[in-house]
Amino acid sequence: MTNHPKISFYPGPSQVYPKVGRYLQDAISKNVTGYNHRSDFFIQMVDNLSTILFAKLQVPRDYKLAFMGSATEVWGSLANSFKKVPILNFYNGSFGEKWSQINTKINSSTVSCSFGLEEELKTFLDFKRGMICVCQNETSNTTQVSNAKIAELRLRYPDALLAVDATSSMAGIYLDFNNADIWFASVQKCFGLPAGLCVVLLSPKVQEYFEVVDQSQYNNVVELYEKASVYQTIYTPNVLDIYLLSRLVQDIPNVLEIDKIIKERALHWRQFFKANGYTLFVENINVASDTVLAVRYEEEKISRLAKNCDQAGFIIGKGYGAYSKNTFRVANFPALRDMDITGLMEVLKRR
C-alpha cells in the first residue's frame, strides 16, 4: 500500500495539475482572496485571463468570458432566462436528461429529443427561434457529440441560440466554438483545477435574445453578458479558482497540442483494454468520448477491482446511473501524467 497521495482517475473532480500547489502558495502570499470582484486587480486579472485563454483554446475574440459556480448552476440560469422561448434538448445520457428535466419544469415549451448510446445526434426536428441544448461530452455514459455534428446543428437551426455543456471536454480537446453561442464547463475536469468554478463563453448572438430574457431572476443571461463585457461577475465569484485559472492558462500548451495528446492516449487506453480482456462500454468510435472511457465489468468484481486500484494508489470511477453496477470509468484528462497512466494500467492488467 502506498503512503503517497492517491492519483485520481475519477471522471471529475479529478487530478489537478501539479503546478496548482505553487499557484495556491502564490495566491496566499499575494492576498488574492482579499480583492473583491469590482476591484482593479480583479478586472485586470480577468481581462488578461480572457486574452490568454481565448488564444490557447482558440475562442473567437468577440466572445465574452463569464463565470458561475458550476455547470448545473448554468442549466438553471439558462432555463430561467429563456422562459419565454421554446427550448429543444438533445440528449443520450443522464446529465443531458437532467438538464432537459430542469428546462421542462421551468418552461412548458421544452421539447426533449433523446438518441441512443451508439447513435450520432440527428437534426430532424422543425425548430426555429429559441434555445437548443446539448451535452458535448456525456460523462455518465462516456459518449460525445463531434464538432461536425454541432456544426450541423448550427446549419440546421441558424436562428436558434445553441448552448453546449462541455464540462468533460473543454480544455482537453479542440472545440470549434464558432458553432455555438453559449459554452460552459466546470473546471474540475480537463482544466485540472479544484471544483467550484464554471467557465462560460458567450457569443455576440446572445444579445439578439436580450429582449426575451426574463430578468426577474438575479443570475440572468443579460446581466451575465453585460458584467462579462467589463470583466466582472454578477456576484462574488470563486476568486481563488479564477486566479488559479489565470496562472494555469499561461503554462498549458495550445489546445491543438493537448487535443493530440488526449486522442493518442484515448487510443492507447482502448487498445490496452481490448488487449487485456476488457470490453469497452461504447463501441462506436464516432461517438466515444476521448476524455472519459467506460468499461463493462462483472458486478460482483467491480468493488474488488476498485479496492485493488485504491491500495496501489489510484482512484477509478464507478459507473453512473443505470450503469453504476456493471461499468467503471477512467478519466483521460490532461493533468494526468504518462507515468500515472502506466501505473494504473499495471494494476488493471491483474484484473
Residue with cell 482512484: 315
Percent share of the chain, pLDDT over 90: 91
Report pLDDT digits (tens) over 134-190. Answer: 999 999 999 999 999 999 999 999 999 999 999 999 999 999 999 999 999 999 999
Domain with residues 20-251, CATH architecture: 3-Layer(aba) Sandwich (3.40)
- pLDDT category, 3, cuts 50, 70, 90? low
User: CATH classification of 7-17+254-349 is 3.10.450.230, yes or no?
Assistant: no
Domain ranges within the chain, ordered by starting residue: 7-17+254-349, 20-251
Q: Is the pLDDT of residue 349 over 80?
A: yes
**Terminal Cα-to-Cα distance of the chain (whole angstroms):** 17
62 pLDDT more than 90: yes
Average pLDDT of the residues of the chain:
95
Which pLDDT value is given to residue 73?
Answer: 97
Query: Which residues have C-beta within 8 Å of that of residue 116, sequence separation ≥ 6?
Result: 92
**In the predicted structure, residue 1 carries a pLDDT above the cut 50:** no
- In degrees and rounded to multiples of 5, residue 140 shows phi and psi of -65, -35
Asked if residue 2 has pLDDT above 70, the reply is no
How large is the average pLDDT for residues 264-275?
Answer: 98
Q: Where are the alpha helices (DSSP H) in 157-229?
A: 221-229
Name 10's Cβ contacts closer than 8 Å, sequence gap at least 6: 315, 316, 317, 329, 331
**Phi–psi pair at 2, nearest 5 degrees:** -80, 145
Q: Do domains 7-17+254-349 and 20-251 have the same CATH topology?
A: no
The answer, yes or no, to whether residue 104 has pLDDT greater than 80, is yes
- Mean pLDDT for the stretch of residues 10-18: 94
2: cell is: 502506498
